[in-house]
Amino acid sequence: MDHLCGKTIIASGFHTTKRGDIDHFQNALISIGDDGAIASVLRPHDDNYNEQKDSQKAAGKLVTLPEGAYLLPGFIDLHIHAPQYPQLGSALDVPLEVWLQKYTFPLEARYADAAFARKSYRLLVDDLIANGTTTALYFATIHQEATRILADICLEAGQRALIGKVAMDNVDECPDFYRDASPEAALRGTEELIGYIRSHPANAAALVKPVVTPRFIPSCTDATLEGLGALAKSCGCHVQTHCSESDWEHGYVLDRHGITDTESLDRFGLLGRHTVLAHSNLITPRNMDTIRARGSGIAHCPLSNAYFSSAVFPLKAALEKGLHVGLGTDISGGPSASLFDNMRSALFVARLLESGVDPSLPPAKRSAQSGVWIDFRDAFYLATTGGAIALDLPVGHFSPGYQFDAMVIDTAAPGGTIRLWDDLDSGENILQKIIYTASKSNIARVWIGGRDVFRSPSLKSGLK
């Protein structure tokens, strides 16, 4: 393994620290400390550049990316259901409330079997890393043992992960074969997982973090929501849940609590700086103000929303209000493990929201929205720094003090799908082409916290 801890990489590539600004760095010298954090980033015009380069080379600690290879920050998947991986790309023929009961709860119930969990989770974590996902915010299942196995596997594979034992105890919405036995059981299970992850002997650097995870309001009793709100405060953990995803779900909460998901979660103390709300398609402008005031984040899941939501998330409005937004695959509601696919989906759905979709209407009447589309810079921001800010983690770009979570895009990879033309492509346009056309074959290397976690078997242009 070619770890970069204690070494320096000389690389060209892209990152974004601020929405709209793309930094195309060339031959940057990125030095990584033993703790996996970036110690310094020098550009060719910086004073110490040549000195640092020469001394690292003499010490045998300089790694050089070849021509045609671009360094990108690793992607952050802000919403993913780990146990649903076996049904990726299937079960998409019914609405959310039917999908949960017919396909998803029966599948998740199978994770009572530790051997099944181990096999499925190992495949998922390896596939995600190979897709460039260096941080994932996971929903697991209600099971203690299987969720611990997911944490073990992330630690073994070296993936940065935030993992929640799902809490769901409402007898009216959860089947008898798959629910927490009581609010006490839901809370105890959550506390036990927090203890396991925090005291894990392989987790001294807190690569894996526990997450308080009420599935969504319909699945939980008020006692569980209240208990988890108090627990989130006392343990200081991240919180994740689903929010105003579809008309059915949004309406259910209005009927039961007489207020929106956002208002209800806030009353239970579940909206904080470390909360991530999945979907949030039907949030009102006032809900947005509340989410912003609490500093909570939103996981935009464009691909999943196309199947299970009744609306497109008002992404542009959320970004312009300064909400923290990142991207989620929402496996298996979204049938792709790739953040590239989800960046593209975010771009496409924003275009459709702007243009409207009904060809029988005249163009001027097809959509009531304007100024809502985003560009590739926004999509890249969402998949990297946007997600990192939502999680409040020092990842997502290449700056001193940030963890070196990165991938190499080999534009000349065999079987790859990026076609660059010397006389046409330069600067940001190369990033645009990467975002629109890269496939898994183009991902040559992945590091997390400087640790070498993936190298493509077909890597043509080796590192020097």
- Check: CB of residue 55 under 8 Å from CB of residue 62: no
Least Å distance between CB 308 and ligand GUN?
5
CA dihedral 235, 241, 243, 247 (to 10 degrees): -150
Pick the closer one to ligand GUN by CB: 14 or 105. 105
What is the maximum span of the chain, computed from C-alpha positions, in angstroms?
Answer: 69
Residue with tokens 């975010």: 346
Query: Which three-class secondary structure state does DSSP give residue 410?
Result: strand
Task: State how far the Cα of 358 lies from the Cα of 339, in Å rounded to an integer.
Answer: 28
Q: Rounded to an integer, what distance in angstroms lies between the CA atom of residue 105 and that of residue 442?
A: 35
Per CB under 5 A, the segment of 92-100, 115-123, 275-283, 311-319 that binds Fe ion is 275-283
Q: Is 328 in the site for ligand GUN (CB under 6 A)?
A: no
Closer residue to ligand GUN in complex, CB, 92/463: 92
- The span from the CA of 254 to the CA of 251, in Å, is 5
Query: Judged by CB under 6 A, does residue 333 bind ligand GUN?
Result: yes
Considering the complex, what minimum distance in angstroms separates the CB of residue 281 from ligand GUN?
11
CB 308 → Fe ion: shortest distance, Å?
Answer: 8
Smallest separation, CB 140 to Fe ion (Å): 12
Q: How far apart are CA 71 and CA 23, in angstroms?
A: 12
Token pair of 24, please?
């195309």
**152 or 330, CB closer to Fe ion?**
330
Provide, rounded to whole angstroms, the least separation between the CB of residue 161 and ligand GUN.
Answer: 18
Could you tell which of ligand GUN, Fe ion, none binds residue 245, using a CB distance below 5 to 8 A set by kind? ligand GUN
Contact mark string toward ligand GUN, 260..299, x via CB under 6 A: ----------------------------------------
How many Cα atoms occupy the beta-carbon half-sphere of 423 within 13 Å?
Answer: 0
Out of Fe ion, ligand GUN, none, what residue 129 binds, judged by CB under 5 to 8 A for its kind, is none
The count of C-alpha atoms lying within 13 angstroms of the C-alpha of 425, restricted to the half-sphere facing its C-beta, is 13
Total of chain residues touching Fe ion, rule CB under 5 A: 2
Range list of H helices, 206-260: 222-235, 247-257
Build a one-symbol-per-residue string for 60-99: x at contacts with ligand GUN by CB under 6 A, - elsewhere: ---------------------x--------------x---
Select the binding partner of residue 449 from Fe ion, ligand GUN, none (C-beta < 5 to 8 A, by kind). Answer: none
Query: Residue 373 Cβ, how far from ligand GUN at the closest point, in Å?
Result: 24
Q: In angstroms, give the least distance from the CB of 141 to ligand GUN.
A: 10
Neighbours of 346 (CB within 10 A): 27
Q: Which does 430 bind (CB under 5 to 8 A by kind): Fe ion, ligand GUN, none?
A: none
Give the nearest residue (CB) to ligand GUN.
333
Residue 66 is given by DSSP the state: P
Q: How far is the CB of 236 from ligand GUN (least distance, A)?
A: 25
Segment 423 to 452, residues that bind Fe ion, using CB under 5 A: none
Dist. CA 393–CA 402, nearest whole Å = 9
User: What is the smallest separation between the CB atom of 242 and ligand GUN, expressed in angstroms?
Assistant: 4
Considering the complex, state which of residue 82 and residue 444 has its C-beta at the smaller distance from Fe ion: 82
Report the alpha-carbon distance of residue 240 to residue 212 in Å, rounded: 6
**CA atoms of 443 and 435, how far apart (whole Å):** 12
Q: Which listed option, ligand GUN, Fe ion, none, makes contact with residue 209 (CB within 5 to 8 Å by class)?
A: none
List the beta strands (DSSP E) in 106-255: 133-139, 160-164, 166-167, 208-214, 238-243
Tell me whether strands 75-81 and 21-32 are parallel, antiparallel or unpaired: unpaired
Q: By CB under 6 A, is residue 304 in contact with ligand GUN?
A: yes
245 interacts with Fe ion by CB under 5 A: no
Q: How many Cβ atoms sit within 10 Å of the Cβ of residue 106?
A: 14
Residue closest to Fe ion when measured from CB atoms: 330
Binding of ligand GUN by 179 (CB under 6 A): no
Closer CB to Fe ion, residue 38 or residue 82? 82
Nearest approach, Cβ of residue 433 and Fe ion (Å): 31
Give whichever of 52 and 219 is closer to ligand GUN, judged by the CB atom.
219
**Separation of alpha carbons 61 and 30, rounded Å:** 12
Give the shortest CB-246-to-Fe ion separation in angstroms.
Answer: 11
| Of 257, 249, 240, the residue nearest 166 (C-alpha) | 240
Distances (CA, A) of 361 to 84, 350, 368, 373, 445: 38, 19, 12, 20, 48
Q: Is 308 in the site for ligand GUN (CB under 6 A)?
A: yes
Q: Which residues contact 327 (CB under 8 A, 6 or more apart)?
A: 75, 76, 77, 78, 299, 300, 301, 302, 339, 342, 343, 346, 379, 382, 383, 386, 387
What does the alpha-carbon distance between residue 336 and residue 77 come to, in Å, rounded to a whole number?
12
Query: What six digits make up the tokens of 52?
Result: 């640092």
The option from Fe ion, ligand GUN, none interacting with 307 (CB < 5 to 8 A, set by class) reads none
Of the candidate residues 169, 249, 261, 330, the single one contacting Fe ion (CB under 5 A): 330
Q: Indicate whether 121 belongs to the interface with ligand GUN (CB under 6 A).
A: no
Contact positions vs Fe ion (CB under 5 A): 278, 330
Contact positions vs ligand GUN (CB under 6 A): 81, 96, 100, 104, 215-216, 242, 245, 304, 308, 330, 333
